[in-house]
Amino acid sequence: MTRRRSALVLAPAILLAIVVSSCLRARTVDLAGTRGARGTTGAEALPPPPAPPESYIGVQLCRACHPAVAATFAQTKMGRLFLNAPRDAKERHACETCHGPGKAHMQAGGGRGKGGMISFARNDPTPIAVRNAICLDCHGKGDRLFWPGSAHAGSDVACTSCHRVMDNVSVKHNLAKVNEIETCGTCHLQKRAQQMRSSHMPLREGKVSCSSCHNPHGTASHALLKESSPNETCYTCHAEKRGPFLWEHAPVSESCMNCHEPHGTNHEKLLKVAMPRLCQQCHVLPGHPSNPYGTDPPSLRFVVARQCANCHANVHGSNHPAGRFFAR
């Protein structure tokens, strides 16, 4: 009787697993057919195949028609490498390494996009995934290992949306703007605005940058964080908050972002809400400590200066045997 009852309980779960498996298999076949009809997806795009040697015209002819562009490119890191000290046959093609062979372009009389040239401009008809694949053909390792499937790749962000390789705009990383805040702030306007608040991470001062916490080229963690969690990211600088502590404050262990807004606030120490209101979001018991303005006779010692932290200074955790309440 017990076995029959167990079988009856398990039957719906087994049936559901079979249905889900069939749907996933059908979806996989459908996606494969879609890729075959429309080409590869953004994460799987490949650079154009190598062209025959006779299709290349050489950098001197490129310079003859584009002298101003060639002059600025020669001052960049990539230009100095490609034009003066190429390391392999691919780099010796210089301009044609990225833009494609120029023979058909020259025979067509020049002009943007003619002869199959890839211009990397915003209105270039070449799919963004293909353009990015050309960059990743050389820059596909290291920090860019997780680019396929990342948030930026899935949003069809082009490498040239953030980087400028033809002229020196930034001091480092060939950014499209003068620094990382301006470059990332082109799309992330809210985070850029938060940096203008009174309490902010020292990005404006140049002590840290967006890439100190995030890897814009993709990660295996949430929000493109370099570390596995927000807490691990914060601990790279705030190691004293890591613990372990004898008495742990539950919201601290869960996430630093329960109390702090890392991109900037108008409250001290990047707090989301000013104290004591921040503490009162969790501590809702009647009277002290949760209600210094309550029905009990009020005491200013609970609301002046740092409020709750006047007494509960070790709010991130305590190692004192009597530190259950995170007091001094």
The pLDDT value given to residue 41: 45
C-alpha pair distances (Å), 197 with each of 57, 203, 259, 313: 54, 12, 17, 25
Instruction: Give the pair of three-digit tokens for residue 201.
Output: 């991470």
The pLDDT value given to residue 311: 83
Question: Residue 267: how many CB atoms within 10 A of its CB?
Answer: 17
Residues 178, 151: Cα–Cα separation, whole Å? 23
Residues 63, 196: Cα–Cα separation, whole Å? 44
The pLDDT value given to residue 262: 95
The pLDDT value given to residue 21: 52
The pLDDT value given to residue 293: 53
The pLDDT value given to residue 2: 43
C-alpha pair distances (Å), 11 with each of 4, 7, 15, 21, 22: 11, 6, 6, 15, 17
Instruction: Give the pair of three-digit tokens for residue 80.
Output: 């100095």
Where are the domains positioned within the chain?
A: 53-161, 240-318
Cβ atoms of residues 98 and 134 within 8 Å:
yes
Widest distance between CA atoms in the chain: 91
Q: What is the value of pTM for the model shown?
A: 0.78
What averages of pLDDT result for each successive group of 10 residues across the chain (328 residues)?
Answer: 45 50 44 35 66 89 93 93 90 93 91 87 91 93 92 94 94 94 96 95 93 96 94 95 93 95 95 88 68 52 66 91 86
The pLDDT value given to residue 289: 54
